[in-house]
Amino acid sequence: MNFKIAVLPGDGIGPEISIQGVNVMTVVCKKFGHNVSYEYGICGADAIDKVGDPFPAETLKICKNADAVLFSAVGDPKFDNDPSAKVRPEQGLLAMRKQLGLFANIRPVQTFKCLIHHSPLKPELVEGADFICIRELTGGMYFGEKYQDNDKAYDTNLYTRPEIERILKVGFEYAMKRKKHLTVVDKANVLASSRLWRQIAQEMEPSYPEVTVDYMYVDNAAMRMILSPTFFDVMVTENTFGDILTDEGSVISGSMGLLPSASTGESTPVFEPIHGSWPQAKGLNIANPLAQILSVAMLFEYFDLKEEGKLIRKAVDCSLESNVRTPEIQVESYPKYGTKEVGEWIVDYINKQ
């Protein structure tokens, strides 16, 4: 297969982990006989500094011309600490999702046996947790009509039937590929938008008779993720709820540096780690590259190249079991590996298979 990949390193630790993702993509393509080329684009604070736009037209063009986007992170404290800033790095991420029509965010939540002790949950609760959060990505409050003055502000949580149907379809189809268990998360006891979500999900149920469907209020879902994370298989929800729940789910594994994600929809799919830009670690060679590397595994799997994805996942598992780990998850008596060294170990492992 011929791959044309848009690479968006972004801000903070983004460029460092991006290099490791590209290196893994390159070695796997070489091993399996694929051709790959890369085109780089700017985004986030880096793009604001250079051209005044967090997602410039040239970057959009690069993304649209690619088969997939390998994205890293955006964000910078100089914008976070300035409430009056009119342009922010995160606006670039929202613009990318909107302009590429990426309405479905797929976030796997899984645990690694050798890292169970790093989870904030008791081992008996978290061991075996393996579920997928599917978040609607281009509707709801993040994109609805907004207003703010000194005395009043509002964000409109608008959803239409086609927007809800298409994301629920993704949820049902993922459930069919897994354990055939779907949890629809809403707040239908309070919000009209949630009642429409629930109504449409109930209408779609008969089309997927093999899928067991639960309906759960978002506050209960947040509680169940802590008390019984193994309950879930596939969870689907709207944009704001999904943003919160997926971040909650991300820490179950013991480190935000371990989990990848995919954003898919009408145009070029985007694959990215779920962690932020961690600007305090920029240039220190301590950021965990595994989420970026696992995003490459998801990229291959998206194109139904399962063996390629499987090899990457095996390499990541072996690196963890061999204690080749960045500082935040390393065992006390073992050496702490840097971002670059972990990436190099995984590339070397793949080369030897």
Q: Identify each DSSP E strand in the chain by its residue range.
A: 2-10, 35-40, 68-73, 104-110, 130-136, 146-148, 153-155, 181-186, 212-217, 234-237, 260-264, 270-273
Pick the catalytic residue: 219, 306, 334, 348?
219
User: Which of 76, 159, 174, 187 is labelled catalytic?
Assistant: 187
Place of tokens 């949580």: 157
Active site residue 82: no
Catalytic residue among 142, 159, 174, 208: 142
Alpha-carbon distance of 54 to 145, in angstroms, equals 21
Asked about 98 being catalytic, the answer comes back as no
The answer to whether residue 142 is catalytic is yes
Task: Number of helices (H) and strands (E) in the chain: give both, helices first.
Answer: 13, 12
Q: Read off φ and ψ for residue 19, nearest 5 degrees.
A: -60, -40
Query: Which among 247, 302, 336, 340 is annotated as catalytic?
Result: 247
- Residue 191's identity, in one-letter code, is L
Residues 158 and 265: their CA atoms lie apart, in Å, by 19
Tokens of 335: 């050496």
Question: Beta strands 181-186 and 212-217: pairing type?
Answer: parallel
Active site residue 113: no
Joined tokens for residue 119: 């989870």
Task: State the catalytic residues.
Answer: 142, 187, 219, 243, 247
